A and B are shown apart, each in its own frame.
Chain A
C-alpha cells in the first residue's frame, strides 16, 4: 500500500522550519533558542511523517501486524526530543549568563570584526561620533595585541564594548 503523507503535517513542518530559520538568524540568543526549538520540532515531526502511515501500537498481540505503525521513527524522535531538551537547557543557561555579564543576550562580534569596525570608523573620521574612546595604536600589530589582551582578561566579569 502506497500512502502519501498527511498534507497538514507537511505544511506544519514547512512553517516550523521557515519560522525557525528566520529566528535563528536573529542576534539575540533567546530568539535563536526559540528558532532552534521550532526547527528541531519540525525535524522531529518530519521523522514521524517519514515513518509511514499511522497505525496501532506496535506490540505483538495487541495490533494485527498489518496495522502496526513503525516503532523505529518513534524511538528516534523520542531520543531527539531528549537531546533537544538538553541543548535548550544549556542555551538558556548561556543566554542568562550572557545577560548577567553584558546586560543583553546578543551574540557578539568576532574579534577581527570588531577591529575592522574600529579601523573603518577611524578611516571615515567617525570615531568620536560612534563613541570609540582613546587613541588608536600606531600599527596594526599593536592594535591586534591590544585587542587580544582585552579578550584575555578571563577572570574578570567585564562588560564587552557595545558597538551598537
Chain B
C-alpha cells in the first residue's frame, strides 16, 4: 500500500495544473478542487490506519534511501496529514460559498484554486518528507502559495501586511538553506534517517550550531517568541478563509518541523532549556498582546502566538508524556483555531465589522453563530470537557512529572495563560454577543454554504473530545516512536544501510 504515500502531494499538484488550465471555467475549477481535496482526505485517513502498523516509506524515483529522496508516513506524519486534509477541505467549501455569495469580486478565483491546491501539496510534502532538502522544497511551495493568497487582490492593506510577511518568510528560508549547506558539509547526507545515525558522531559543538540554525529557521515559521512579531500584523488583513487556513496549518508546519528534528536528529535535547524559556515567553507575550486588542481577528492572532508556546513546551520536555501531549495539542489547535477564524469571518459578514467596539448583541440576532463561536472558544481556553482542556491537562501533567524548576515555572505559566485566554475570550464574547451594539447591525443573513463547513469543523473539534481516548493513545504511540527513533530509521533503511529501490550500481558498488 505504499503507493498511497505520495498521493497527498501528487494529487493537489496535478489538480493545481488542471485548475490553472481551466481558469476560464470557474465551475470546473470548483469541482476539481473539491474532488482532489476529498481524495487527499481519503488517502490521508487510509495512511492514518496503515501507519499504525509501522511507517510506510517510498523512495522517490526508485533511488534507494540515502541516495534518493524518501517520503515517510509514520504515525505523526499520518496524523498531521489527516487533520490538515480535513481542515483544508472544510475551508475550501467555506471559501466556495463565500465566493458564490460575493460574486467572486473580492477574490480572483482563477488564481485562488490552483494556489490553494499548491499550498495543500506543500503542507503535505513537509509532513511526508524524509529528507531535509525536500522539507525545504515543501516549505517553499507552501510559502510561495501563501504569498499569493495573503496578497490576493493586491489592495493597499494586503500589500502593506503582505510585504512584511513575505520578507520575514524569505529571511527564514535563507537561514534554512544555510543550515542545510552546513549540515551537508558536516555529515555528507541530508536524509533524515541517515542524519539520525551520523549527527551523534560529529563534533558536539558543530551539531549544536546546526541544531540552533534549524531551530531559528523553524521558529520563525512557527511564530515562537522573539520571532513572532510578524504574525499578528500580517494574518488579519487576508480574506477570512485564507487567514483560517494559515492560522490553522502554517504555524503547525513549523511546529512539526521542530518536533521532527528535535526528536530524530538532536535527541540529546541540548536546546530543551532554551525551548522552555522561549515557550514561556511566547505564551505570556502572546496572551498579553491579545488582552489589549479590540479587534477580534487580531485578538485571535495573538492567542495563536500564545498557544504556540504550549506546543513548544511539550516538545521541550523531551519525554513521552510531553511529546504525546504536544501532538494532541497540535491536532486540537489546528481544528479549533481554524474554526474560530471561520466563525470570525461569519461574524464579519453578519456584523459588518470585526471591531469589538462596534459589534454587539449577536447572540440575540444570530444564536447559531453564538453557539459556533462559543464551543471552539471554550475549547481554546481549556474549559472541560473540551479537547483544549485534555491537551492542556496532558501538558501540565508532563511538566509536573519532569519536575525541574523551569518545568514547574512553565506549568504555573501555562495555567496563568489559560486563565488569561479565558478572560480574553469572555471579553470578546461579552462585547460581540451579549452587550448592546452602539449602532444597529446591518440586516443580512448568512449564506448556508458558509455556515455548513464552519459547523462541520466545530463538530470535528467536538469529535476530538469524544474520541480523545483513542486519539491520545495514537499520539502516545507516535511519541514513543519519535523517542525510540528506530521505527523511523529502520523503515527507511529496510535493507540494512539502504532503502528499497532500484539503483543497483549505488546499492551494490562499494562506497568510496
Contacts and interface: CB of A to CB of B under 8 A. Distances in A.
B295 A50 contact: no
Nearest to B178: A43
Interface residues of B, number: 44
Contact of A107 (B140, B164, B294, B353): B164
B159 A97 contact: yes
Interface string B181-200: 11011000010000000000
Main secondary structure of the interface of B (DSSP, over half): helix
A123 B180 CA distance: 50
A57 interface: no
B355 interface: yes
Interface in B135-161: 137, 140, 144, 147-148, 151, 153-160
A159 B156 contact: yes
A15 to B, nearest CB: 15
A51 B184 contact: yes
A141 B357 contact: yes
Contact of B177 (A47, A141, A153): A47
Main secondary structure of the interface of A (DSSP, over half): helix
B143 to A, nearest CB: 8
B351 to A, nearest CB: 12
A101 B159 contact: yes
B140 A83 contact: yes
Contacts of B338: none
A37 B128 CA distance: 29
Nearest to B179: A43
B295 A144 contact: yes
B502 interface: no
A83 B354 CA distance: 36
Nearest to A60: B505
A43 B233 CA distance: 29
A38 B177 CA distance: 14
Contact of A151 (B157, B170, B512): B157
* Residue among B163, B171, B190 with most chain A CB within 10 A: B163
Contact of B174 (A36, A90, A148, A151): A36
B315 interface: no
Interface string A39-50: 110011011001
Contacts of A110: 164, 233
Interface in B346-389: 353-355, 357-358
B414 interface: no
Contact of A79 (B133, B353, B355): B133
Contacts of A98: 159-160, 163
Given A40-B177, A43-B174, A141-B294, A160 B182 contact: no
5 contacts: A39-B174, A107-B163, A108-B163, A157-B155, A160-B156
